[in-house]
Structure 1
Amino acid sequence: MRVVSLHRYPVKSMAGETVDRVLVDRRGIVGDRAWAVVDPDGKLGSGKSTRRFRRMEGLERLAARYDGDPAPDTGPVAGPIVTLPDGRSWPAGDPALDAAVTAHVGRPVRVAAESAVPHHDEGPLHLVTTATLARLGAEAALLRANVVLDAPGLAAFAEDGWTGRELLLGGVLVRVREPMARCVMVGRRVLHEVAEVNDGCAGLVLDVVDGGTVWLGDEVRPMSVGATG
């Protein structure tokens, strides 16, 4: 099993970036979802509405990237650069960006850094296999996966059986918490497909046991009996 792509999403619910390596700590990938679009009442812009999140149309059409690698333990070296659909870009923290995103989503908002509570919906890391992506006809970015793993001969959704197991992703030890329940962020077609064939789940939620670095092409090794499904 090998890591075949790595993805980081600097701003929650916006398109992110594909990278060759990531730094991982107990929170997850350093810089991943470290920023969010925030309402005056403190709710975070998302594809769904919950106690913490507020559905905001069009966030997925914005893209965020870092100019360089975020630094471990201290957060990003600088805020991400956010690009609108028309190609205009500003760094997070620029009032012009807040004004542009406000106009885009149709409500007063600002792009703000994470404080005490992580922005993640479910857990620190999200992994999916190429077999599951192929079965759904979806890209990793649509499922907002951080790590895509390829294992020759593995069946779609076989990773669901890894719950409770530990995996070594390059230099990072993770524990599989549970399958990832999907929401409307994946789109109606994929959401319907997942509901039909796998009880609404696709991919895995991972907790970080020991941090480190994961590189594109790193071997993924099961550290517990049965972790290969």
Structure 2
Amino acid sequence: MRVTELWRFPVKSLQGERLDEAALGELGIEGDRRYAIFDLGTGFGLTARREPQMLFASARTTPDGVEVVLPDGSVAADDAALSAWLGRPVALRSMAEVEERRYENPDDTETEAAASWGPFTGAGGAFHDSAGATVTVLSTASMDGEPTRRFRANVVVDEAGEDGLVGHAVRIGAATVAVTTPVPRCVMVTRAQPDGIEVDREVLRGIHREHGGNLAVGGSVSVPGTVRVGDELVTAEPLT
């Protein structure tokens, strides 16, 4: 099992950056999900669950932090530009600026009826949904021909079998990741994205039908280090 792709998503729910190498540390890939956009009216962090158009903007890391490129190709100069784009007062915030991380998710993934939307609390630190999955690993085989970007995994590998990594320490390059959990999937995987990726609810149906609702595995970094495309994943001792 070898690394074929590495991904960093500087702003939660925006398009990210494909990397040749990445530093893995306590919060996952350096620079991953360090920023999120917050609705100033509700206090919720915005994701493409609620605002699918977010997937048509992208984020890139800069020496000073991050910048957001809007769907028209312009760089958002400030929160006012982001608010105009999303049609509501919003603010881009770093993980250091936000203590409460509440997001929305629909229980009814077929119709996304208004009454089915409810809040959930995300992780502290970087803006991950779960503190136990600051690094995610997914194989091309498990994607079953779907574009990699649908699933927003950090580490893409060339061989099936990632589910078997759960419960083990896994060396990837110079880093070690304690893989602890399957990654549950939601309506995010059904959303349209650039380059002809269309809305497709069958993607989530298939994940529930064939994988019990999970796709990819997640864990946390126990030994920091650099990971590069081409590195082998080596399963070490079981976790205790």
Q: Does 1:46 align with 2:47?
A: yes
SS of the residue 2:181 aligns to = strand
Aligned counterparts, 1:126-137, within 5 A? 126-133=136-143, 135=144, 137=145
- Look up the equivalent residue of 1:65 and give its one-letter code: R
Aligned counterparts, 1:103-122, within 5 A? 103-115=84-96, 117-118=124-125, 119-122=127-130
The residue number in structure 2 matching 1:124 is 134
Distance in 1 (CA, whole Å) between partners of 2:45 and 2:225 is 28
Q: Deviations over 1:113-133 (max 9, x none)?
A: 112523101221111011112
- Look up the equivalent residue of 2:47 and give its one-letter code: S
The residue number in structure 2 matching 1:85 is 71
Q: 1:142 Cα shift?
A: 1.2
Q: TM-score when scaled to structure 1?
A: 0.81
Distance in 2 (CA, whole Å) between partners of 1:148 and 1:114 is 25
- Look up the equivalent residue of 1:204 and give its one-letter code: V
In the superposition, relative to structure 1, how do residues 200 and 131 fare at CA in structure 2: closer, same or farther (>3 Å)? same
Distance in 2 (CA, whole Å) between partners of 1:87 and 1:108 is 21
- Look up the equivalent residue of 2:38 and give its one-letter code: V
The residue number in structure 1 matching 2:189 is 186
Contact 1:58 1:104 in 2 (8 A): no
One of 232, 236, 239 as aligned partner of 1:219: 232
Contact 2:26 2:220 in 1 (8 A): yes
Q: Tell me how large the CA RMSD over aligned residues is.
A: 1.5
Distance in 1 (CA, whole Å) between partners of 2:210 and 2:235 is 26
Q: 1:59 Cα shift?
A: 0.9
How many residues end up aligned between the 2 structures? 198
Distance in 2 (CA, whole Å) between partners of 1:197 and 1:183 is 15
The percent of aligned pairs where both chains have the same amino acid is 36
Q: Deviations over 1:123-175 (max 9, x none)?
A: 21111011112x2x222221000000113xx3xxx322322111101011011
SS of the residue 1:31 aligns to = coil
Q: 1:222 Cα shift?
A: 1.1
One of 38, 61, 64 as aligned partner of 1:66: 61
Gaps of 5+ in 1: 49-54, 68-76
Q: Does 1:139 align with 2:147?
A: yes
- Look up the equivalent residue of 1:168 and give its one-letter code: R
Contact 1:36 1:111 in 2 (8 A): yes
Distance in 1 (CA, whole Å) between partners of 2:19 and 2:142 is 21
Gaps of 5+ in 2: 100-123, 191-200
